[in-house]
Amino acid sequence: MRPRRLPRTSASAAALALLLAAGCTGSGAPRDVPAPHATAPAVVPAASVSPDPAALRPYYAQRLSWRNCGTSGFQCATLRAPLDYARPGGAQIRLAVARVKATGPGKRLGSLLVNPGGPGGSAVGYLQGYAGLAYPAPVRARYDMVALDPRGVARSEPVRCLDGPDMDAHTQVDPTPDDRRETDLLAASFKRFASACAKRSGRILPHVSTVEAARDMDVLRAVLGDGKLTYVGASYGTFLGATYAELFPSRTGRLVLDGAMDPSLTAARLNLDQTAGFDTAFRAFAADCLTHPDCPLGTTSVRDATARMRAFLARLDRAPVPTGQDRPLGEALATIGAITAMYDEAAWPQLRTALTHAMDGEGSGLLALADSYYERDGDGGYSNLMPANAAVNCLDQPPAFTTPAAVAAAVPSFEKASPVFGRGLAWASLTCAYWPAKATGAPHRITAEGAPPIVVVGTTRDPATPYKWARSLAAQLSSGVLLTYDGDGHTAYGRGSDCVDTAINTYLLEGTPPPPSQRCRQS
């Protein structure tokens, strides 16, 4: 799945494929899944070549024209950036920015840029819907809270692909093909998705990489008048923040990377690790479910619950159940619905109820969970989350697999990593094999030599960004400091741990990072 942080208010193989890789899903040169702990060579992404500073001067000197927007106190503006940083004198791209000014009292510390992850999550929406209103009051008092929708996302020249009905069809394609015909249908769906993206968004597709988004953040930093970037990034936002520190270590201020990704891993390794992460989360859910007498997966053991879940999904593969809509619940949508609840243990009761009803032949509960994941509205329209997710991932990493045969060979490794989700997540890795824009990034270690302390936060049972990724990133960074949350769910800051929140607030407000290897326990 794509590592992302769900808003606090809160696939088919085609959709699953949009989940892993450099921030989500992946596909890559034809090769088998690497051996455990394998990393790629330290290759610097081609897109990181420095552009001409003189040619960039007009962008760094621009002034933003702020206007009131959204709820009271929020302001919006448009930032200009080069479409292609290798040709800064050429075409431009317009990027959406929002802020809410520091509430005071006390000395203002500058701007705090936030990113909720994805790739493809709207930072502006996250600011207006949560961060600008519900971040800790002392932090909001001292910082202007700022968001920038990354290029290709939401309000920043969004990548567009399939329309609503075609996206509905895409999300219902069998994610676990059993024969050549089903494999061909799945590959054809990936190809249609990629072709639609090329047709509707060909201008921007080659220019939505994480490196380019990080360069946009530096332009915004300068335009806001900040000498250094202060930033909180969740999930994929950690990769974006680490990339910024790699490119601009001397301009890096207080960075919090929560739910960290490991930039040194290949797409295939990322996908396999994340598959294991969702298995860890499912086992935790199953163990909790067993304590409830109405658990739809039984009350005997996690092993039995796993077997029942596999049998349920296999049954839906053969015979979908009605939902009250013209979209029956098949294996694809049910899998995404279940995975959605893995991101936050607060959603486990909802999943128990949805599974109970689906097993009784009524699938609307799981469908609602899947729709929330895809950001599908009641009229059948979709946000651009999934197109942007694929577009960024397919630029940031070469594909994990380039042929169906390569995926089929890797399926046993994925099924071992997750008996419930592994097969579908393996086939999801085929997405980027058909992508119309060639990858410009490559897996590599990020050290950010010269940057001040960077706080990396890892949750021990995080489904989307496994804890070992946080440990790895903190070790790679020359100034990385690991903060561990021993708990469930995806990311840790603002999710109920006073220990985590106090450590991060102290760092943001005073510049003092937590002590090495601090560990916070779930209450």
Question: What does 373-418 look like in DSSP terms, one character per residue?
Answer: HHTB-TTS-B-SHHHHHHHHHHHHS--S-SSHHHHHHHHHHHHHH-
- Phi, psi (degrees; rounded to nearest 5) at 511: 80, 5
311 has pLDDT over 60: yes
**Backbone region of residue 152 per phi and psi (left: phi > 0; alpha: psi in -120 to 50; beta: other values):** left
Cβ contact 455:463 at 8 Å: no
Residue 28: which pLDDT band, with cuts at 50, 70 and 90?
Answer: very low
- Phi, psi (degrees; rounded to nearest 5) at 67: -140, 150
Task: Measure the CA–CA gap between 464 and 78, rounded to whole angstroms.
Answer: 32
Helix axes 302-318, 348-359, angle to 10 degrees: 50
Whether residue 304 is contained in a domain is answered as no
Cβ contact 91:84 at 8 Å: yes
User: Mean pLDDT, to the nearest integer, of 162-167?
Assistant: 96
Cα three-residue angle 246-249-250, rounded to 5 degrees: 160
The pLDDT score that the predictor gives to residue 44 is 39
pLDDT tens, position by position, 395-407: 999 999 999 999 9
Comparing CA positions, the residue from 269, 247, 287, 244 lying closest to residue 468 is 269
pLDDT greater at residue 358 or residue 5:
358
**CA-CA-CA-CA dihedral for 261, 234, 372, 362, to nearest 10:** 60
User: How many CB atoms are closer than 10 A to CB 226?
Assistant: 19
The pLDDT score that the predictor gives to residue 49 is 58
pLDDT tens, position by position, 78-123: 999 999 999 999 999 999 999 999 998 878 999 999 999 999 999 9
Lowest mean pLDDT among 31-40, 145-154, 453-462: 31-40
List residues with catalytic annotation: 235, 462, 490
Peptide bond into 399 cis (omega under 30): no
Whether residue 482 is contained in a domain is answered as yes
How large a percentage of the chain has pLDDT more than 70? 91
**Backbone region of residue 169 per phi and psi (left: phi > 0; alpha: psi in -120 to 50; beta: other values):** alpha
Count of structural domains, the chain: 1
23 has pLDDT over 80: no
User: Mean pLDDT, to the nearest integer, of 202-224?
Assistant: 97
> If residue 193 lies in a helix (H) or strand (E), which one and from where to where?
helix 180-201
C-alpha gyration radius of the chain? 22
- The token pair at 16 is 């699953």
Whether residue 193 is contained in a domain is answered as no
2 has pLDDT over 60: no
User: How many CB atoms are closer than 10 A to CB 49?
Assistant: 10
User: Mean pLDDT, to the nearest integer, of 141-151?
Assistant: 98
N residues, the chain = 523
Whether residue 323 is contained in a domain is answered as no
Whether residue 413 is contained in a domain is answered as no
**pTM, entire model:** 0.90
Task: Measure the CA–CA gap between 492 and 510, rounded to whole angstroms.
Answer: 20
- The token pair at 466 is 């496994």
17 has pLDDT over 70: no
Whether residue 68 is contained in a domain is answered as yes
CATH number, domain with residue 85: 3.40.50.1820
The pLDDT score that the predictor gives to residue 14 is 36
- DSSP secondary structure code for residue 321 in this structure: B
Task: Measure the CA–CA gap between 492 and 486, rounded to whole angstroms.
Answer: 9
Whether residue 78 is contained in a domain is answered as yes
Strands (E), 241-373: 252-258
- Phi, psi (degrees; rounded to nearest 5) at 493: -70, 130
- Which residue type is seen at 430? L
User: How many CB atoms are closer than 10 A to CB 512?
Assistant: 12
Task: Measure the CA–CA gap between 167 and 495, rounded to whole angstroms.
Answer: 32
State the residue range of the domain holding 102: 46-156+229-263+450-521
Cα three-residue angle 84-89-95, rounded to 5 degrees: 50
Task: Measure the CA–CA gap between 343 and 355, rounded to whole angstroms.
Answer: 17
Whether residue 172 is contained in a domain is answered as no
- Across the chain, mean pLDDT equals 90
